[in-house]
Amino acid sequence: MTVKNCEKLEKSQVALTVEVSAEEFEAAVEKAYQKMRKKINVPGFRPGKAPRKVIEGMYGAEVFFEEAMNNAFPEAYEAAVKEQDLQVVGYPSVELVGECTKEGFTFKAVAPVYPEVTLGEYKGLSAPKDEVKVTAADVDERLKELTDRNTRLESVDREAKEGDTAVIDFEGFLDGKPFEGGKGEKHSLELGSHSFVPGFEEQVVGMKAGDEKDIDITFPEDYHADLAGKAVVFKVKVHEVKEKQVPALDDEFAKDVSEFDTLKDLKADLKKKITEERQKAADRAFEEALMEQVAANITADVPDAMIEAQCRQFLDNFKMQIAQQGIPYDQYMKMTGMDEAKLLEDAKEPATRQVRMDLAMRAIIEAEKLEATDEEVEAEFQKMADEYNIDLETVKKYLQAEQVKDQIISRKAVAVVVDSATAVKPEKKTKKSSKKADEGEAGEDKPAKKSSKKAEESTETEKEAE
């Protein structure tokens, strides 16, 4: 193998012109003969026993050339890449230069390579950072989650009211005929949850165990195409009515759900945990904002192959998430009407940001000559073992030391940027932006308005939390 030319192209690509010698090509032809001879019929010879010269005499000397080139190319290409010390980041496009003869052949391979990266500013940056505040109302919300998890449902012999759970059979009829997906048995429906079609739950209110009733419903215009705007009848039977038994917020409750003996201590612990969570989130957002600046400041001719590979990685992660939910990917795509090509196209912008972030990270590591010692790697292994309460050797079995080393070095690179940065107060929202936030822009839920009773309970909790 001889590299005749190595030319740098735009978009961090390199064009290699490589010559495969007669000797190398002869070895590839012999290998092709050994592979193909069993499939070539030659009169007078058993399958696979015909000599190479006989086969070439019948079909021409070029009979093995295509297979031979396929055999010779990978080895010659890899050797050329190694000789030129190239860091290839994608598959090459290949074309034959001239003709292939028994004297060998020449090919041109255009391959994307790791780009040259010039760091811009990465020290002394500034970014907004939220000040962490935790109010008594935040503690109330966490307490509510605890009470919800410890709330029991008990059967009651009375009419159902909002907030109760009704165990029902139901079947829907359109023009007197049952429709698909409109039937359920022993279904537990929380009244007021709005999990059923509008108007259904409201008509179950007032029913009690043993009651049967026809419920008239008109589906919304934006509902499933087959039922949109249609008037239907649901036949409903109530088997059981259950009401929530919410535990009292007192010291006994604290003992039941935690290691604390008093509600006051439980609240203090919840406040501490919420503060830690929000501080971590604020730190993470601050780091991300800074690293995005660093990524934007680099100069690099990023090859398309790196962005395409990152898009594919995003797609693979998405498929994994869907699989973890127990939904086959093909079925999910069909149900949602999504198109894989569109997913990959939509992924290009975030993929580009991620690739630039990775390039910036590596450039900082090289500029700062960052390393991780064996002691640091061992300490990180031990930290993970302690955190997840598993044996140290088990951690090492599933995580390679090189992976852990990369994680440590990456954290050091981020620390270089963060430790030299300045945190500034976030800009106050204008009236216009505040209004948009209240209206739930970008798909955010509107905050629920607090009732006067709830406000009173919050005030009491706040007094106790102080």
CA–CA distances in Å: residue 1 to residues 6, 77, 80, 93, 158: 14, 9, 8, 18, 89
pLDDT in tens, 408-454: 999 999 999 999 999 999 887 655 544 444 444 333 333 333 333 33
Nearest residue to 182 (alpha-carbon basis) of 171, 166, 192:
171
Q: How far apart are alpha carbons 267 and 264 in whole angstroms?
A: 5
- Chain-centroid distance of CA 38 in Å reads 48
pLDDT classification of 462: cutoffs 50, 70, 90? very low
**Structure tokens belonging to residue 66:** 């295509």
H helix intervals, 196-338: 200-204, 251-257, 263-297, 304-324, 329-336
Query: 426 Cβ partners below 8 Å, 6+ apart?
Result: 128, 129, 130
Share of the chain above pLDDT 70, in %: 92
Tell me: pLDDT of 463 over 60: no
Class of residue 158 by CB neighbours under 10 A (exposed 0-12, middle 13-18, buried 19+): exposed
pLDDT in tens, 225-277: 678 889 999 999 999 999 999 999 999 999 999 999 999 999 999 999 999 99
The pLDDT, as a whole number, for residue 451 is: 37
Q: What is the mean pLDDT of residues 383-411?
A: 93
Question: Domains (ranges, CATH) in the chain?
Answer: 2-114 (3.30.70.1050), 152-245 (3.10.50.40), 262-440 (1.10.3120.10)
Side by side, the strands of the sheet bearing 13-20 are 2-9, 13-20, 104-112, 93-101
Q: Residue 93 in 3-state DSSP? A: strand
The pLDDT, as a whole number, for residue 223 is: 80
Q: How many CB atoms lie within 10 A of CB 400?
A: 10
pTM assigned to the model: 0.69
Q: What is the mean pLDDT of residues 204-214?
A: 96
Query: 111 Cβ partners below 8 Å, 6+ apart?
Result: 13, 14, 16, 81, 86, 88, 90, 91, 92, 93
Contact 231, 216 (CB under 8 A): yes
Place of tokens 């590979």: 309
Place of tokens 């030129």: 84
Q: How far apart are alpha carbons 58 and 317 in whole angstroms?
A: 53
Highest-confidence segment of 137-146, 175-184, 455-464: 137-146
The pLDDT, as a whole number, for residue 437 is: 43
Virtual torsion, Cα 360, 361, 362, 365, nearest 10 deg:
120
Virtual torsion, Cα 371, 374, 375, 377, nearest 10 deg:
80
What's the whole-number average pLDDT of the chain? 89
Tell me: pLDDT of 460 over 80: no
Contact 294, 368 (CB under 8 A): no
The pLDDT, as a whole number, for residue 429 is: 65
Tell me: pLDDT of 85 over 90: yes
pLDDT in tens, 306-353: 999 999 999 999 999 988 888 888 888 887 788 899 999 999 999 999
**Three-state secondary structure readout of 403-425:** HHHHHHHHHHHHHHHHHCCEEEC
